[in-house]
Structures are given as structure tokens and as C-alpha cells.
Structure 1
Amino acid sequence: MSPYHHGDLRRAVLDAAVAAITEHGPAGISLRDLARRAGVSHAGPVHHFGDKAGVLTALAAEGFDLLADALADEGDQGFVEVGVAYVRFAIEHRAHFEVMFRPELHREDDEALTAARDRAGALLTSGASSVSDDAMAGVAAWSLMHGFANLWLTGALRAELQEDPDTAARAIARILFP
């Protein structure tokens, strides 16, 4: 095992966390496994993140930043396209998505996480405001796309819906929010 000094240990550990979560979910990761995957001693991840919650907090913050970027790319396209971007993000960044909305896995009061979550939330709210000014309509819109993303990721949908997530998400969003 090499010492914890690494060109970009933070990135290496986060990449290792993405790989580990992709393989066996967020509950199954350990700092020892992440260190092994990153090719460093156990002290490396501890030095940078403190503990498993620190790694998952950083991963959740990164996920919210990536989500905000994906939603911002849709600009003023309205809820349907923001919803499609949300589903696409969930599929392309599954490990992040699995951690982001699980507050028991990370530190909810972390400043970077809060800032990233607020930025993504503002963009989600903006997209949902094209549906209605009612805050509950925004929650309904988000719930629809979040639920669809989870159903897609778990393979719970009929096979014909599993062919193209963008097309399916767009069709589902248009049923309730034309």
C-alpha cells in the first residue's frame, strides 16, 4: 500500500466512492475499501474526509452541483425539459443521486452541501414555476420526476418504457403538466 500522498487524493477517493456505490450501494462502502480502490493507505481518506459521512457529504455536494449544472443547461425550457434533465442526471450520476437525497448518510449542515443543494433547488423551483406559482405544484412536479427516476434506476418499469429514458420522462411529464 502506498502512503496517502496522492496527486489528487480527494478526487481519487470520490471516484472510488462512485465506483463502490455503483457496485453495492452507499450503505456498503467503507473507508478501507475506498483507500484500497484509490491505491493509498487507510489514512488518506481519513485525512481528507474524516469519516465515511465526510466522503458521502462531499459526494452529495458534488452531486447537487452537477444537478444544478444539468438543470441550468436547460435554461428557460420549462418544467418538462427540466424534468427530463433531472431524470437524465439521475441515470448518468446514479451514485451521486443515491446519496444526495439520503440525509442519514451525510452531514446535512455542511456549508458546501447546503450551498449546492440550494442552487439546485432554486433551479428546480424555477422549472416548476412554469407549471404553477403554487409551491405544492412544484413539489408535485419534482415528486413525479424523482419517482420516475427511481423507478427507472431500479428497473421497476415495463420493458417498453426502459428503452429511452428521455422520451419516457418527457411523455410522463406532459401527461400531468402539458
Structure 2
Amino acid sequence: MSPRPFHHGNLRAVLLDEAVGVLRESGVDGLSLRDLARRAGVSHGAPRSHFVDRQALLDALAEAGFERLTTAVRRALDSGGGRTERLHRVARAYVDFAVDDAALMELMFQVKATTTPESVHEAAATLFATLDGALGSTAPEAADDESRDHFKMLFAATMQGIAALVASGRIERPLGDRLVGTAMDTMLDSELGRRVVTVR
């Protein structure tokens, strides 16, 4: 494997890109700063100028993962159409990310409240704030914050469950796509969905 070229100052980005590739190939267990240095064509100690240890690398990957997923969700929302159509696109974007980067998704949701850097929690909060915005405004009497949070967590759990079935090979991707549509229709037509997503 030939080293990837990079300009001075963007080694951190190169290392993160390489780390995502390793995650896709061999999961979290395959990650090491020494191997990333070899892949990037730099000295063994160079990555430590950006990541003091392996955990710092994992935290940075989780943060970048939340940012990438937020970008995908925003792109789905910006494509036009009614709210139901946009929420369906958000769901597909969420599952696509979770299937294509299953190890990264698992890493992102393994964050610990007490030991994970604040920047990772902020990136996660931005994702869920974006999902909250996707639900649209609701009348004050229609839904409380707890109901909206319940819907968002149900959405994440359902989509990640479908993605896990696809990523593990238990079901084919086309069936996963159909399940995403069915799940969204079911959630939106539920009592909780009607209370939370009042603007279609």
C-alpha cells in the first residue's frame, strides 16, 4: 500500500480517513496508532501530535462520525418535499450510514457520559437536535419534550436495528430498505407519531 499524500497541517484529517478505512476492514480491534502512521507514510510517533493515545483517536472518530451523520441528515432534509417524505429520506440516510460504517456507528454510540470528551457529546447533541428539527414545530399542547425525546430514541433504535440486520447479512439490503419505509409509516401513524409530528 503506497502512503497517501498530504500537505503539512492536515495529517490529522488523513489519519482519521485512514482510521475509518481500518474500521470498515477490521473493526475497532484493528486500529492502532502505529499502523495508521504506516498507512499515512509518517513516523511512528507522528500521530501522537494529534492523538495522545488510542482512546483519543477513538473519541475523535466518534466525533467525526456524528458530524458526518448530521451532514447526511441535513442533506436529506434539504432535498424538498413534505415532512413525511423528508423524514423517510432521513431514515434512509441514517440506515445507509449505519450499514456502510457499522463499526463506526457502534463506536459512536458507545460514548460514556463520564469519560468521553465534551466535544463528542456536543456532536451527538447536534445530531439529535437536527433530528428534533426534522420533526417540525408542534402546538404546545400536542407534544412535550419527553414525547419528542421518546420518538427520537425510538427512531434511532429502530433504524440501527434494521441496519444491524443488513450489516450482519441477516437480511438483504433491498428488504432493509422496505423495512425502513414500513417502520417510518408505522411510527408516524402511531399515537406517539401523531402527537409529535403534527406538521406533515
Both proteins in one fold, TM over 0.5? yes
Cα displacement string for residues 55-83 of structure 1 (whole angstroms, at most 9, x for unaligned residues): 11111111111111111123273443322
The 1:129–1:48 alpha-carbon spacing in structure 2 relative to 1, beyond 3 Å, is: same
* Number of the residue aligned with 1:172: 183
Q: Which residue in 1 is equivalent to 2:24?
A: 22
Single out whichever of 132-141 and 118-127 deviates more from structure 2: 132-141
Which shifted more, 72-81 or 135-144? 72-81
**Conserved? CA contact 1:80–1:177, under 8 Å:** no
Aligned equivalent of 1:63, options 62, 65, 78: 65
**Alpha-carbon contact 2:162-2:176 (below 8 Å) kept:** no
In structure 1, what is the Cα distance between the partners aligned to 2:41 and 2:156? 39
Q: How does 1:44-123 map to 2 (within 5 A)?
A: 44-75=46-77, 77-78=83-84, 79-103=87-111, 108=116, 110-123=117-130
Where do 5+ consecutive residues of structure 1 fail to align? none
Contact persistence 2:51–2:57 (CA under 8 A)? yes
Please, what TM-score do these two structures have when normalized by structure 2?
0.72
In structure 1, C-alpha distance between the alignment counterparts of 2:183 and 2:150, rounded to whole Å? 18
2:134 to 127, 144, 148: 127
- Say what the alpha-carbon RMSD is for the aligned residues: 2.7
Read off the aligned partner of 1:137 and give its amino acid letter.
F
TM-score normalised by structure 1 residue count:
0.79
Percent of aligned pairs with the same amino acid: 33
C-alpha change, 1:127 and 1:149, in structure 2 (3 Å) is farther
Q: Taking structure 1 as reference, are residues 146 and 93 closer, same or farther at Cα in structure 2, changes over 3 Å only? A: same
Query: Offset at 1:95?
Result: 4.5
Q: Where in structure 1 do 4 or more consecutive aligned residues deviate above 6 Å?
A: 129-132
How many residue pairs get aligned? The number is 169
Distance (whole Å) between structure 2 residues aligned to residue 174 and residue 61 of structure 1: 30
Who wins on radius of gyration, i.e. which is larger?
2
Moved more, 162-171 or 80-89: 162-171
Whole-angstrom distance in 2 between the partners of 1:95 and 1:37: 19
Equivalent-residue separation in structure 2 for 1:130 and 1:101 (angstroms): 27
